[in-house]
Structure 1
Amino acid sequence: MGGIAGLFHPATPKPVDPARLRRMLATQAHRGPGGEGVWTAPGVALGSNRPAGVAALRTEASLTVVHDGAILNAAALRRALEADGVGFESEDDAELLLAGWRRWGPALPEHIDGEVALALYDAGRGLLFLSRDRIGAKPLHLAELSDGSIAFASELKGLLAHPLLRRMPDITAVEDYLAYGYVPDDACLVAGVAKLPAAHRLTIARGRPIVGPERWWRWEGGARLKGPAAEVAGQWGDLLRRAVRSRMIGADGALLSGDADSAAVVALMAEASPRAIRTLGLGPAAAPIARRFATDHSDAPRFDPGPDDAELLAVLFDEPFADPRAVADFAGADAARDTMAVALLGTGGALTMAEGERHRRLVRGERLRALLHIRVRQPLFTRLGAIWPDAGGRSRLEALALEGAEAYARHLAITPRLWRERLFTPAARQALNGHRAEQRYVDAMAAAPASHPLDRALHADLAIALPAQWLTRADRSAMAAGLEARLPLLDHRLLQCSARLPLALRRGGAAGSDVMGRALASYLPAEALRRPADDGWRAPAGDLAAALGGATLLAETGWFDPVALTMMVEAHRGGAADHGATLWQLLVLEQALRRLFP
């Protein structure tokens, strides 16, 4: 748990005002309610938001480091370094990171097991080193300021606190957001702001040109696991058990939604703990799981997001983030504030094992595509799709006329491509210069080192949706409530194993026949392993059309055609079409614009 921020002058060591860094850290105070640490030297300033009792900033001779997150293999690393003659004064991760830098230099992140973002200044070499963990669980935003300095912060709001940050919107990020419901990691609504990609490091040496980030770890699926299903499931289960146990160190309990993933995490926590683990229920399905494992259980108050919560999402995420489940996540994390500081969550199973409705539809579509040549399939299903379109602007029949990657990308769109084209003004479409959100997924699937369409979709999901949607949602919702979230189902070793599973062991069939059902059959009943078919989100209930009526900034941007927007609102209000998801997206965008560009 924590946050980091800093300033660096790459050309000449100009003086740095520590008050500016403190203002950046103050906006991230929720990430480290124990206080802040600030260190400055000519041309550089590093700071951390830290929990009480945690030293997240440390200086030794010419080295200074700040970090966000926990090193899960800290004990093993400490023993390895001690064997090389290194002595330690404390158990602090910050001291361990400095010792690791002396031993391994820029290869340091490769030795860390955990979800850690870090910034290290080496005065002897005159360089700033930044790194982000393998899966991107811990965020890190970067920008070049108008005076030529480099600013970084865990959250965008940290950068926004600096007066020299230029605030201009990027229309391509709006296109991405309307498609996905979030802004991908390789984009930002504030032009000029970048996010250090997951599993990347960046070295900025004073007086030298800045070279782009370097990837230090690559997710690769590899060949399918072979052997009896029970044996493969056992391997997967052992990795999940290891992931849970490593994240239990220093944890206070778990947030239990009652779905298969959180039930699996609680089951393995109960196995490893000599006493009753603490759980907080996030829904009615949690109580039976809590009783089964005799946890120290309490239930969070039920919370249903509504139109008024669009502003809360803008506060939590800075950039527009449309998934209303994040509001309920925050409410649950906030309910745990008095009893937990670190909790395990069962986030990510459906995505990382390619077992959601999006994946099942892809597989079904590919089977049909294989039966008909594209010269027959394309005109046939294009015509049928035009005859039987749906009111939302998408058609399953028309999707069969497309190649699988394009159909998959369009299926993921919250606001369909047709309606995005209608809503944007000619000026906005010109500014987009041909950019369309779906191409990101098409390119990622084409570049995937895999042949099966499901594996290619998984590769794209892990590169795009995992860091920008699932991990961002978990991090911001928990951090805003002062809770550190740990995610064992997203352990990088488990991810690689999940990607190599035989298709028959991925979920989607009978409950208990998949890898989790086989691995945890002795822990959980079949009914606890069932998953709802729909893995998407729905717009909150309420009069979204009325709520959007006060959106003035959307009109002022010149991005949206008022006639098309009025048609959409009236069709939704009259029941001719369900545009609730798009109206909710626009409402959240309005609130984000108010905060980002006051």
Structure 2
Amino acid sequence: MCGIAGIFHCGTIKPVDPQRVQAMCDALAHRGPDGHGVWTAPGVGLGHRRLSIIDLAGSPQPMHSADDRHVISFNGEVYNFKELRRELEAEGAQFNTHGDTEVILAAYQRWGTDCVGRLNGMFVFAIYDKAQRTLFLARDRFGVKPLYTAMLSDGSIAFASELKGLLAHPLLRREVDPQAVEDYMAWGYVPDHRSILKGVGKLPAGHWQLLRHDTPPAAPQQYWDLSFAERRKGKVADLEAELLHHLGQAVSSRMVADVPLGAFLSGGVDSSSVVALMAEQSREPVRTCSIGFDVAAVDETGYAARVAELFGTNHQSRRVSADQFDAIDQLATMFDEPFADASALPTWRVCQLARESVTVALSGDGADEAFAGYRRQVFHHREEQARRLLPAPLRRSVIGPLGRVWPKADWAPRPLRFKSTLQALAASGAEGYARALGTVPPEVRATLYADGFLRELGDYRAEQPFVALMEGAPARSGLDAAQYADCKFWLPGDILTKVDRTSMAVSLEAREPLLDHRLVEFAATLPEGLRVKGVQGKWLLKKAMERYLPQDILYRPKQGFVTPIAQWLRGPLAAQARGVATGSTVAATGWFDKAQLARMAESHIAGRSDHSRLLWQLIMLDKSLGRLGVST
């Protein structure tokens, strides 16, 4: 696992200052503390920070091909590199190292841009062709590894694994994109199709881009997409066996490392499944770690301990205080862009614990997206059934107005909270699911923005790209489309961003076996009834794992990391909650109605309502803007 950075001139060839590339790499030192390198030539510069995982001493970067025609800077892991190496050797390729970096170089020389379709892994890389004078950029299928790009005033494109790498370049313009603010307020993160800064983009997941010195930048090209359009047929027992085969392959391929390796273990279905399969394939006890909280209601370490005992793992567990609010400044620095998923705090803590004993940790991320494990997906599936029964005019004219006047009732038992369900049923399936996934609904955002900011946004609303994504999904049902959108929108923007930044902050490589593309492609073909049965999501996955895991691990309600933000904002962070309306960077932007922000803060602090998610988003936005040093 590493960090990469570089500069490439489009439309002209100018010298590249190696000190600029070095400064960009230095900003990414946490991603690669074990080595660094910079290579420049007329019009191009590549930089690298290395975290040694495979071939510890033999694969320094940037790396040159054997014939010196190509140069690569690579971040990630290619899990099938040994198989590809054997194939390439059979066709005459020769290798001087034992790692995956040289295999990518040889694959590009043999297959050109088609090489990315042969790579099974998580990766971002840049390959410069000295003969053709082109730069090839590529990103893995799901966007596990990030790549930021920016067109600069001198005609060059700068790229880096994190935004802080670009911020080290003196020509980067630091002006906020208003549409990114709208996106962030809707979702709690800036999605992959945008960046918080104007002129900065992200290479989309499953895409490559070929840049030339003599032409303007070409648009990224998609090389992979996930399809839910087909349905697998067969007996449940056969599909279950096929699923276990894919799971076993995914886990075993990610257990290759020349450094200590372990796993995160929360005690939930996904991480427990990964640990079970690791234990089955390992001669030594698997190293596992879990984080618990000093609040019994949100502490899952007991379940993790049971799984650890069941498989005889070398288990580390640590309880931390739920009051981690003193770490939010460090969190803002980690993410660069505003990021309001509060589970980033405990995720960072478990990464810190893991790094004390291992350099690589396998996680359970990805199963919920692939197998329909989120409660919102199960609800959406049932809502779609209701939409088919209720005529659209009835939903718009009766259910819609009822949803608008129904009280929010956060205090009520969950079965009595009808407002969001009524609002979702009144909308189309895509609009309803966007509402379920979002953090601040459009009607609330409209009351927060100042008139001038609303004029600047014009007709744009954050839900529009998401709805378009769902409506254009290769899918046969509403559940298919929801899962597709989760994989393409939520997964890279929230989940994978969270894991990448928090793990890389402590120089830990996190691997996601449940995002093996062969496994996810298989899951996408499962009949809906094998994904959701009644109110149970991930049905076939849980059934397949019954031979490994006890019932109360498999079928207990999904917990996830919980952070007591609502309490913080009524206690130690109350002053910061009030501050978003007065004296903060956010208040100075003029984007928001200060009086409305003040009313919401006071209502929350007094306990009359729960505006914790909104206030947390505003606080994290404020801290991010302060660190970016942006102009507004």
Common topology (TM > 0.5) = yes
Query: Bigger shift: 94-103 or 465-474?
Result: 94-103
Query: Bigger shift: 352-361 or 77-86?
Result: 352-361
Contact residue 357 and residue 535 of structure 1 kept, 8 A: no
Deviations 1:184-222 (Å, cap 9, x if unpaired)? 000110111000000111101111232100011121124
Q: TM-score, normalised by structure 2?
A: 0.91
Residues 426-441 of structure 1 aligned to structure 2 (within 5 Å): 426-441=451-466
The yes-or-no answer on 1:339 pairing with 2:339 is no
Cα distance in 1 for residues equivalent to 2:215 and 2:84: 32
The residue type equivalent to 2:547 in the other structure is S
Partner of 1:460: 485
Cα distance in 2 for residues equivalent to 1:320 and 1:359: 26
Deviations 1:335-390 (Å, cap 9, x if unpaired)? 12221111101112122212311112212222222222122221111232233231
Structure 1, gaps ≥5 residues long:
none
Partner of 1:5: 5
Partner of 1:158: 165
The residue type equivalent to 2:176 in the other structure is P
Deviations 1:370-427 (Å, cap 9, x if unpaired)? 2221222211112322332316796432322111211111122211222210110111
Cα distance in 2 for residues equivalent to 1:270 and 1:508: 29
Q: TM-score, normalised by structure 1?
A: 0.96
Q: 1:440 to 1:117 in 2, by over 3 A?
A: same
Cα distance in 1 for residues equivalent to 2:219 and 2:165: 22
The yes-or-no answer on 1:422 pairing with 2:447 is yes
Cα distance in 1 for residues equivalent to 2:148 and 2:464: 24
The residue type equivalent to 2:371 in the other structure is M
The residue type equivalent to 2:269 in the other structure is A
Give the drift of 1:507: 4.8
Partner of 2:264: 255
From 286, 297, 303, the counterpart of 1:277: 286
Q: 1:421 to 1:308 in 2, by over 3 A?
A: farther
Cα distance in 2 for residues equivalent to 1:114 and 1:42: 32
Contact residue 404 and residue 419 of structure 2 kept, 8 A: no
Query: Bigger shift: 340-349 or 301-310?
Result: 301-310
Q: Secondary structure at the match of 1:282?
A: strand
Partner of 1:182: 189
The yes-or-no answer on 1:82 pairing with 2:108 is no
The residue type equivalent to 1:528 in the other structure is I
Partner of 2:609: 577
From 572, 579, 594, the counterpart of 1:562: 594
Give the drift of 1:274: 1.1
The yes-or-no answer on 1:587 pairing with 2:619 is yes
Cα distance in 2 for residues equivalent to 1:8 and 1:386: 52
Partner of 2:16: 16
Partner of 2:144: 137
Q: 1:533 to 1:76 in 2, by over 3 A?
A: closer
The yes-or-no answer on 1:58 pairing with 2:83 is no
Partner of 2:568: 542
Query: Bigger shift: 173-182 or 382-391?
Result: 382-391
Q: 1:448 to 1:510 in 2, by over 3 A?
A: closer
Query: Bigger shift: 197-206 or 103-112?
Result: 103-112
Partner of 1:40: 40
Q: Secondary structure at the match of 2:132?
A: coil
From 329, 335, 338, the counterpart of 1:320: 338
From 54, 75, 78, the counterpart of 1:71: 78
Partner of 1:488: 513
Q: Secondary structure at the match of 1:304?
A: coil
Deviations 1:525-546 (Å, cap 9, x if unpaired)? 1111125357796662313442
From 444, 468, 474, the counterpart of 1:443: 468
Cα distance in 1 for residues equivalent to 2:359 and 2:517: 23
The residue type equivalent to 1:265 in the other structure is V
Contact residue 76 and residue 123 of structure 2 kept, 8 A: yes
Structure 2, gaps ≥5 residues long:
293-300, 411-417
Equivalent pairs, count: 598
Partner of 1:329: 347
Residues 232-381 of structure 1 aligned to structure 2 (within 5 Å): 232-250=239-257, 252-283=261-292, 284=301, 285-304=303-322, 306-381=324-399
Query: Bigger shift: 90-99 or 313-322?
Result: 90-99
Q: 1:46 to 1:192 in 2, by over 3 A?
A: same
Deviations 1:63-112 (Å, cap 9, x if unpaired)? 11010011111111111111011111111322222211211112121121
Contact residue 378 and residue 532 of structure 2 kept, 8 A: no
Query: Bigger shift: 44-53 or 395-404?
Result: 395-404
CA-atom RMSD, angstroms? 1.9
Query: Bigger shift: 263-272 or 311-320?
Result: 311-320
The residue type equivalent to 1:264 in the other structure is S
Identity %, equivalent residues: 44
Q: Secondary structure at the match of 1:68?
A: strand
Deviations 1:276-309 (Å, cap 9, x if unpaired)? 1111123312111000000111113425354433
Deviations 1:406-464 (Å, cap 9, x if unpaired)? 11111222112222101101111111121111112211111012221000111111110
Contact residue 305 and residue 324 of structure 1 kept, 8 A: no
Contact residue 5 and residue 151 of structure 1 kept, 8 A: yes
Q: Secondary structure at the match of 1:221?
A: coil
Partner of 2:408: 390
Give the drift of 1:240: 0.9
Query: Bigger shift: 214-223 or 26-35?
Result: 214-223
Cα distance in 2 for residues equivalent to 1:179 and 1:512: 26
Give the drift of 1:509: 4.7
Cα distance in 2 for residues equivalent to 1:139 and 1:386: 39
Query: Bigger shift: 410-419 or 73-82?
Result: 410-419
Q: 1:535 to 1:401 in 2, by over 3 A?
A: farther
Give the drift of 1:510: 7.6
Deviations 1:110-153 (Å, cap 9, x if unpaired)? 12111111101101001111000111111011001111111000
Contact residue 355 and residue 508 of structure 1 kept, 8 A: no
Q: Secondary structure at the match of 1:159?
A: helix
Q: Secondary structure at the match of 1:400?
A: helix
